[in-house]
Structure 1
Amino acid sequence: MHRFTAARPIAAVAAVAAVIALSGCGASQQGATTLDKDAKVELTWWTGQSEQAQTMLEDLAAEFEKDHPNVTIDVSPGSSSTEELLQKISAGFAGGSYPDISYAFGSWASQLESSGRTLDITEQVTDPEVKWDEFSESARGTVQPTGEKTIGFPAIVDNLSLIYNKTVFDEAGVEYPTEDWSWDDFREAADDLTDESTNTYGYAYSVSGSEETVWQFWPHLWQEGGDILDDEGLAAFDSEAGVRALTLLQEMAIDDKSIYLDQTDTKFAQLFASDRIGMMTSGPWQLYDLNTAKTDYGVVQLPGTDGDHQTVSGPDIWALFDHKDKNREYWSYEFTKWLTSAEQDERWNVAIGNLPLRSSEVDSDAFKEQVEAYPGLDVMAANNENAINVRPTIKGYVGLSESIGNAISEVLQGQGEPKAALEEAAEKANTTLK
């Protein structure tokens, strides 16, 4: 199942950015210049999915075709893996063989917009029937990477929530987290849960330096009032807010020794499932494995700072592309609007165990059934309201992520101090950003 999309590798963005920039100046063969809604249209849709999700989407496309006999949709995953889609799309720009609709990681949005090949549906989504406000702020922001154009619809949403191991809490005699927890409450509980004699830790954090390390840090930064970038598009995470945020993690790791420092990005989840870690910040993709392991867990929103419980989301998108054909443009939009409506979303995103795209789906019978199977999904869905800020989709984000990821990892392992490490990381990030 295609669950874990938010923190996938983003290095591929840098590898193809130049290709997209070069191919954006190419010309697409002119199609219909005036709209004829009854004209026969063939659309190409790259789903980026496999197995069960792909089958579900193929069935939905067939249903749309039945209701609109003039429309044919050529449905395929697009490539052998989702990560390879960006490179294939960019090559298609150069050769004129790119799709009408494609799944895309949110981190690609800026590159896709800069190609000059995306549709702008900003005016269309203001239609009240679209119910654009039902998508989270983070999801809406991801399909509007520069704020000037809307290049598609949200496809999959997620967020970081606090997952706690009830067995570890019960054995330590610590009360379960509540939605009102502060980070001070969190730190105290993590310390109480840590037991050196049994190699049990209160919390876990990635020190691989990857995007997993980085996106776990952003909620701390935002809650402290900090920003990733300033108004000029340069690094701003080395602010006093950033120092405060990193200092909390440093003190837990170095002073309290309550954090399991994971070099792999994967072992902490295994240790949590086997009752060796009390808390982790993770998302809906984790619940399937926890249920399979029969781990006794609970879910709440992230602890907050002065009542601010902001989280980070990694929305992915359905990007729409311009083929200079009014008929293809119209039906690409109409199909994607239909696909992302609450009724259809319940039949694939919710059915496969993802969070619902829209706030209106949270009370649906379909989602309630999934909550029965995967307790905590409802909390995570409600937590989308706390996904306010958007991770930058700018071209230099890869370098920025590498810089601050290494800084965080060094500080948590006792190899640096927050202020100096963040300042050095900001300097390196700005080299890329400029």
Structure 2
Amino acid sequence: MKLKKVVSLLTVAILSTTLLAGCSSTKNEEAGGKTKLRFATWDSEESLALQEGLVKKFNEEHDDVEVVLEAYGSEFDTKLAAGMGAGDTPDLMYMWNYPLYSGALEPLDSYIEKEGADYKNSFFETLWNYNSYEESTYGIPVGYTTHVVYYNKDIFDAAGVEYPSSEWTWKEFEETAKKLTNKEKKTYGFGFSAKPDPYDFEMMLWNNGTSYLGDNDELKGNVNSKEAIEVYQAYQKMAKDGIALPTEGSGGTEMKAGSIGMFINGSWSITGFEEQGLNFGTTVIPTFREGNKAPSVVSSSGMAMSKDCKNKDAAWEFIKFWTSEDANKARIEYELPVIKSVAESEKLLENEIYSPFYTMLEQSKEYTPSSFKVKDWTEISEELSTVQEGIFNPTTLRDPKQSLDSIAK
């Protein structure tokens, strides 16, 4: 599953100009008597081939509509914003950054309402938070991942440590990491990114009762709150004590190499671990506050429609096809199903590896990322990224309080 997280300043500049000037209408062409719809995706390689097959299937089943897949790959945001600026917006597109793009998207609430309550209820509830902005729904969930703790069973077995329970605290997590650490074998109990993605890391602040911006949409008093500082100190202390390894990536490479016992990540790691034959398990993220349930940020993809699409009914039919049970099952190798019945029929809610992702989804209903609250998230994210790297980079390990105070405004 390829989920977008970061927008370049170039993209923001292009899109800002577009929305101020107003988007020109998308011109749907007639292709041999058929309505032509353009669908922009960020996928590539194997998952793109799967998408091409699904588009072909839809076209074969519809005599009056032809969907054309446009693969933007890693340049998705730049190409999408440039197309909007030139009045050449695709009719349908994958979407993640609704605050930034909402002005160019068609609200889908009326379409959802016409389908009936059962339609909306067929999706996992938490995902609607990630496909909406300012009380309007702009996307239908396509795929998602929450974050969980991955653990290397062989390292646990060698250290004589019991596998993690589904109800554990951060204190127990630290104690487990200490037991797994073996300096002679150069094995660390925990691995984490020395430059974590701010979007992802906010879930750890939620875990301790705070966030970057809070309800007042201000950094001051939130990102530098006592609770936030405690989280950064906890991570940094593990690094200083030599029981955690700050890495250049997420920790997946070190997990494969057998140099760390645990790390936190989304479902992206599963396929690689299984292909390697790694003996691993997954479990929920430990809570900072005993008695509470830890939440997770959700990396979610949705299907959106351009507000200037000339054939909205046909576009909605494709959206329903793309987000249907059958399509969810077809993409199961690349992304976690977003429809309850599919997760149940595929027995993912009972699966040792996959069920924690759904548990984390259920525990995250009430949380909304700061990136969904403000349109200048890119600038805030860059500041946070620089500060967090200074706190966690082994060559700096700057004081968390001073660092967070420096960006609180």
Q: 1:360 to 1:241 in 2, by over 3 A?
A: farther
* Cα deviation 1:132-154 (Å, max 9, x = unaligned): 24434553122213x23222212
Percent same amino acid at aligned positions?
22
Query: Residues 333-372 of structure 1: matches in 2 within 5 Å?
Result: 333-348=316-331, 350=332, 352-365=333-346
Q: 1:314 to 1:346 in 2, by over 3 A?
A: same
Partner amino acid for 1:281?
A: I
Query: Residues 44-59 of structure 1: matches in 2 within 5 Å?
Result: 44-59=38-53
Partner amino acid for 1:405?
A: S
Residue among 354, 373, 379 paired with 1:399: 379
Structure 1 counterpart of 2:224: 238
Q: Which moved more, 1:403-412 or 1:272-281?
A: 403-412
Q: 1:168 to 1:128 in 2, by over 3 A?
A: same
Deviation at 1:169, TM superposition (A): 0.8
Deviation at 1:286, TM superposition (A): 0.4
Q: Tell me if 1:71 matches 2:32.
A: no
Structure 1: runs of 5+ lacking an equivalent: 33-38, 428-434
Deviation at 1:129, TM superposition (A): 5.5
Using the size of structure 2 for normalisation, the TM-score is: 0.88
Query: Residues 17-416 of structure 1: matches in 2 within 5 Å?
Result: 17-24=12-19, 25-29=21-25, 40-77=34-71, 79=72, 81=73, 83-104=74-95, 106=96, 108-113=97-102, 116-126=103-113, 127-128=115-116, 131-145=119-133, 147-208=134-195, 210-211=196-197, 214-235=198-219, 236-254=222-240, 256-262=241-247, 264-265=248-249, 268-304=251-287, 305-306=289-290, 307-323=292-308, 325=310, 328-348=311-331, 350=332, 352-365=333-346, 376-388=353-365, 389-391=367-369, 392-393=371-372, 394-412=374-392, 413=394, 415-416=397-398
Q: 1:137 to 1:426 in 2, by over 3 A?
A: farther
d(CA) in 2 for partners of 1:367, 1:309? 20
> SS where residue 168 of structure 1 aligns?
helix
* Cα deviation 1:137-196 (Å, max 9, x = unaligned): 553122213x23222212220111001111111111111101011111101101111111
1:166 touches 1:296 (CA, 8 Å); kept in 2?
yes
For this pair of structures, how many residues does the alignment match?
394
2:106 touches 2:305 (CA, 8 Å); kept in 1?
yes
2:144 touches 2:337 (CA, 8 Å); kept in 1?
yes
1:274 touches 1:295 (CA, 8 Å); kept in 2?
no
1:138 touches 1:390 (CA, 8 Å); kept in 2?
no
What do you get for the CA RMSD once the two structures are aligned? 2.5
Q: Which moved more, 1:17-26 or 1:192-201?
A: 17-26
1:346 touches 1:366 (CA, 8 Å); kept in 2?
no
1:17 touches 1:395 (CA, 8 Å); kept in 2?
no
Q: Which moved more, 1:217-226 or 1:376-385?
A: 376-385
Structure 2 counterpart of 1:423: 405
d(CA) in 2 for partners of 1:387, 1:377? 16
Partner amino acid for 1:276?
A: S
> SS where residue 176 of structure 1 aligns?
coil
2:93 touches 2:304 (CA, 8 Å); kept in 1?
yes
Q: 1:404 to 1:229 in 2, by over 3 A?
A: same
* Cα deviation 1:378-426 (Å, max 9, x = unaligned): 3323432233323214332222223223333333346332222212132
**Structure with higher strand content:** 2
2:24 touches 2:88 (CA, 8 Å); kept in 1?
no
